[in-house]
Copies of this chain bind each other. A is one copy, B any other.
Amino acid sequence: VSLSLPAWFLENDRDQHFLAAVSGGADSVALLHLLHQADFRQITVCHLHHHLRGQEADGDADFVAALAASLGYRWEIGHADIPELMEKNQLSLETAARRARHSFFGECSVRHACPRILLAHHCDDQAETVLWNLIRGSRSESGIRTISRMEVEGFILEFLRPLLGVRRKEIRDFLMTAGLVWREDHSNSEPIAARNRLRHEVLPLLDEIARRETAPLLARAAESAEELREIEQWAVTQANVLDPQGRLHVTALKALPQSLQAACMMDFLKKADIPDLGRPLVLRCLELLHPDGPFVVNLPGGGHLRRRAGRVSISG
Contact = CB atoms under 8 A, between A and B. Distances in A.
Contacts of A131: 206
Given A205-B202, A235-B235, A257-B234, A137 B228 contact: no
A157 interface: no
Interface stretch (A21-29, A213-221, A244-252, A306-314): A213-221
Interface in A238-297: 238, 256-260, 262-263, 279
A217 B135 contact: yes
A140 to B, nearest CB: 5
Contacts of A206: 131, 135, 202
A268 to B, nearest CB: 16
Interface in A193-213: 194, 197-198, 201-202, 205-206, 209-210
Secondary structure class of chain A's binding surface, majority of residues: helix
A221 B259 contact: no
A229 interface: yes
A202 B209 contact: yes
Contacts of A226: 259
Contact of A202 (B202, B231, B260, B279): B202
A198 B227 CA distance: 27
Tallying the copies of this chain within the complex gives: 2
A231 B197 contact: no
A212 to B, nearest CB: 8
B221 A232 contact: no
Nearest to A141: B141
B209 A194 contact: yes
A95 to B, nearest CB: 18
A225 interface: yes
A139 interface: yes
A198 B208 CA distance: 11
A231 B218 CA distance: 22
A224 B139 contact: yes
Contacts of A235: 231-232, 234-235, 238
A140 B137 contact: no
Given A234-B257, A257-B234, A141 B225 contact: yes
Interface of A: 130-131, 134-141, 194, 197-198, 201-202, 205-206, 209-210, 214, 217-218, 220-221, 224-232, 234-235, 238, 256-260, 262-263, 279
Leading 10 A-B pairs by shortest Cβ distance: A227-B259, A137-B217, A135-B210, A228-B228, A230-B259, A235-B235, A135-B214, A140-B224, A197-B209, A141-B141
29 contacts: A134-B217, A134-B218, A135-B206, A135-B209, A135-B210, A135-B218, A137-B221, A138-B221, A139-B221, A139-B224, A140-B141, A140-B228, A197-B205, A197-B209, A202-B205, A224-B279, A225-B228, A226-B259, A227-B259, A227-B262, A228-B231, A230-B258, A230-B259, A231-B231, A231-B232, A231-B235, A231-B259, A234-B260, A235-B238
